[in-house]
C-alpha cells in the first residue's frame, strides 16, 4: 500500500523533527523510524526535499481541514475561539509540525520558503474570513489592517501553543486557549 508508506514516512518525520528540526534530520533516521529502507524514501519522494514538501502539504491540509470544520455562522468571535482551540489541539497532537513551521517559515530564502509561503497564505486566509466578518459588523478598532492582524493571530497561536508544550505542559488546553482569547477579545469587543 503506497499511501500507507508515505503516511508512515510523514508521521516518522514529524516524530523526529520535534527535537532535531528538518535540517538536522537524516534520511537514514527517518527511514529507520518509519521502519522502511532508505531507498523507499527515494522511491516515493525522489529526494529529501520531496519528502519535506509532501510533509508540509500533508500537515497544512490537516490543519486547514480542521480550521474550516470549526467555521459556522455563529458570532465571529466564537468561531475564532473554536479555531484557536482547534489549532491548539492540532499542535498538541503534532508538535513536530509546528516546530517545523516556526523554524522554517520566516527563513529567507530557505529551501522550503516557497512552499511554506503558499501554505501560510492558505491558513491565514481562513483566519482573515472571520476578521472580515468582524469588520463588517463594525467591531474592529479603527486602523486595524486585516492582513497584518491575521498574520499576527496565526503566529501568536503557533507560538503560544509551542511555548505551552515546551515550557508549561501542565497547563490545560482550556487555560491556554483563555490566554490567547484574552488577547483576541481586545480586537472585537461585543
Partner DNA sequence: GCTTTTGCACTGACCGGTCAGTTCAAAAAG
Partner DNA sequence: CTTTTTGAACTGACCGGTCAGTGCAAAAGC
Q: Contact positions toward DNA, by CB under 7 A? A: 1-2, 4-5, 25-28, 35-40, 42-44, 46-49
Of 108, 138, 170, 172, the one binding a second copy by CB under 8 A: 108
Shortest separation between residue 111's beta carbon and DNA, angstroms: 10
Q: Could you give the CA distance from residue 88 to residue 97 in angstroms, rounded to a whole number?
A: 12
Residues 88 and 161: beta-carbon distance below 8 Å: yes
Q: Which does 44 bind (CB under 5 to 8 A by kind): a second copy, DNA, none?
A: DNA
Residue 36 makes CB contacts below 8 A (sequence gap 6+) with 5, 8, 9
Using CB under 8 A as the binding rule, whether residue 179 contacts a second copy is answered as yes
Q: Which does 169 bind (CB under 5 to 8 A by kind): DNA, a second copy, none?
A: none
Shortest separation between residue 76's beta carbon and a second copy, angstroms: 15
* Residue closer to a second copy, measured from CB, 37 or 159: 159
**Buried-exposed string 60-92: b where 16+ CB fall within 10 A, e elsewhere:** beebeebbeebeeeebbbebbbbbbbbbbebbe
Amino acid at each position: 500500500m503506497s499511501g500507507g508508506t508515505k503516511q508512515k514516512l510523514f508521521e516518522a518525520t514529524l516524530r523526529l523533527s520535534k527535537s532535531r528540526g528538518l535540517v538536522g534530520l537524516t534520511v537514514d533516521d527517518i527511514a529507520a523510524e518509519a521502519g522502511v529502507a532508505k531507498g523507499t524514501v527515494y522511491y516515493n519522494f525522489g529526494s529529501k526535499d520531496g519528502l519535506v514538501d509532501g510533509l508540509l502539504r500533508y500537515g497544512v491540509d490537516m490543519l486547514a481541514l480542521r480550521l474550516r470544520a470549526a467555521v459556522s455562522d455563529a458570532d465571529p468571535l466564537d468561531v475564532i475561539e473554536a479555531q484557536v482551540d482547534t489549532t491548539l489541539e492540532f499542535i498538541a497532537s503534532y508538535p513536530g509540525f509546528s516546530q517545523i513551521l516556526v523554524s522554517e517559515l520566516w527563513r529567507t530564502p530557505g529551501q522550503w520558503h516557497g512552499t511554506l509561503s503558499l501554505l501560510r497564505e492558505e491558513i491565514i486566509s481562513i483566519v482573515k474570513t472571520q476578521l472580515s466578518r468582524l469588520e463588517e459588523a463594525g467591531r474592529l478598532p479603527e486602523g486595524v489592517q486585516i492582513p497584518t492582524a491575521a498574520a499576527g493571530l496565526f503566529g501568536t497561536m503557533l507560538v503560544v501553543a509551542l511555548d505551552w508544550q515546551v515550557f508549561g505542559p501542565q497547563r490545560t488546553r482550556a487555560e491556554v486557549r483563555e490566554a490567547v482569547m484574552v488577547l483576541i477579545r481586545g480586537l472585537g469587543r461585543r
